[in-house]
Amino acid sequence: MSRTALIAGNWKMNLDHLQAIATVQKLAWTLKDAHYDYDGVEVAVFPPFTDLRSVQTLISADKLQIRFGAQDLSEHDGGAYTGDISGAFLKALDAAYVIVGHSERRTMHGETDEIVAAKTAAAVRHGLVPVVCVGETMEDRTARGAGVVPVEQLQVVLDSVAPADIVVAYEPVWAIGSGQAATAEQAQEDCSALRRAIQTAWGDERAAPTRILYGGSVKSGNIASFMREPDIDGALVGGASLDATEFAAIARYKHHVGR
């Protein structure tokens, strides 16, 4: 089964709308100069909400092949939910994706597996592809075994949402923003466990095409090692996605396989 790789940049709470325009322009120019093949490896950015309209306008005016998504959405479709953003609004902006259940939202905003599942359902309902984030601490991994906690987190989504086009991102907590990425072998172990869980719950016809990303201190210097693994189909990149040159180098990982 061949899956189109996805290199996704989660900007977190960085870059205002003017900086977003400059960053996406620079990314597009850098990739154009390199004759980038977007059909071979998809590139998407996940800017803050306030940047989305600017990014959409730029992408559509310049006919860029870069895709974009939001970092979160409400589980509700609309109404009295001050500060929340409906998936309907994101769809109206032509967003392709939306991140759900990032570990920063799980820990800082108390998002439970059930909330993450409800947000995943909301994304699917509005025609957005959810990037469902799961992860584990090193303590979880040592005490419970590789992949056990991430699979438990994903299981809640798989049990409550009908089979759909989703992306899963495995982000070990110790690797996020630490400069200490998981090894490719560790990441593969977890990503294959996640794929098996999808297979059991949703069947092979859904598990085979589902893209599973690795996230946590991904850089141009280590991306190739992850992309060589059979169950890793891309990366969710934080810090390194803020620098257009570095992010473009990550997206061009095929040029440094074997380095």
Q: Which stretch binds ligand 13P (CB under 6 A): 27-35, 73-81, 137-145, 233-241?
A: 233-241
Q: Which two tokens stand for residue 88?
A: 């309907």
CB-CB contact of 131 with 69 (8 Å)? yes
CB-CB contact of 233 with 212 (8 Å)? yes
Interface residue with ligand 13P among 47, 48, 130, 216 (CB under 6 A) is 216
Site string for ligand 13P, 79-118 (x = CB under 6 A): -----------------------x----------------
CB-CB contact of 42 with 67 (8 Å)? yes
Distance CA 134, CA 198 (A): 13
185: left (phi over 0), alpha (psi -120 to 50) or beta: alpha
In the set 42, 75, 102, 104, the catalytic residue is 102
Interface residue with ligand 13P among 52, 59, 173, 237 (CB under 6 A) is 237
* Residue 220 engages ligand 13P in binding (rule: CB under 6 A): no
* Residue 183 engages ligand 13P in binding (rule: CB under 6 A): no
**Of 87 and 238, which CB lies nearer to ligand 13P in the complex structure?**
238
101: left (phi over 0), alpha (psi -120 to 50) or beta: left
Helix or strand or coil: residue 78?
A: coil
Q: Which two tokens stand for residue 86?
A: 């409906």
Would residue 171 show up in a list of annotated catalytic residues for this protein? yes
In the set 42, 136, 171, 189, the catalytic residue is 171
Q: Which stretch binds ligand 13P (CB under 6 A): 53-61, 138-146, 226-234, 238-246?
A: 238-246
Residue burial 25-54, b: 16+ Cβ < 10 Å; e: rest = eebbebbeeeebeeeebbbbbbbbeebbeb
H or E segment and range at residue 116: helix 113-125
CB of 43 to ligand 13P, least distance (A): 15
* Residue 217 engages ligand 13P in binding (rule: CB under 6 A): yes
Q: Which residue is nearest to ligand 13P (CB)?
A: 238
Would residue 102 show up in a list of annotated catalytic residues for this protein? yes
CB of 47 to ligand 13P, least distance (A): 13
Distance CA 152, CA 140 (A): 12
Which of the residues 36 through 55 are near ligand 13P (CB under 6 A)?
Answer: none
CB of 63 to ligand 13P, least distance (A): 28
**Which residues does the annotation mark as catalytic?**
102, 171
